[in-house]
Amino acid sequence: MKHSVDAMKKDVSRLSAKQRTYTNMQHDLTQRLDSLPAIVPPMAPARSELLVPRPTDSARAARLEFLRQFPFLERYNLATRDVPFIVDDLRKPFAILRFLPATHWERGVPLPIMVYASASFCELTQYELHELQGCPPVHLGVPDRTQHGQLIQNITHRTYADITDTIQVHPLMRTKNGNIIKTTLRHQAFFDDDGDVRARAP
Q: Does this model's pTM top 0.75?
A: no
**At CA 130, angle to CA 129 and CA 131, rounded to 5?**
90
Task: Write the pLDDT tens digit of every residue in 171-182.
Answer: 899 999 999 999
Q: Looking at residue 25, what is its pLDDT?
A: 55
Phi and psi angles of residue 123, each rounded to the nearest 5 degrees, phi first: -65, -40
- The pLDDT-based confidence of 162 (bands split at 50, 70, 90) is very high
* CB burial of residue 95 (10 Å; 0-12, 13-18, 19+): buried
Q: Which amino acid is at 152?
A: I
Task: Write the pLDDT tens digit of every residue in 98-128.
Answer: 887 655 555 555 678 899 999 999 999 999 9
Nearest of 8, 159, 10, 24 to residue 83 by alpha carbon: 159
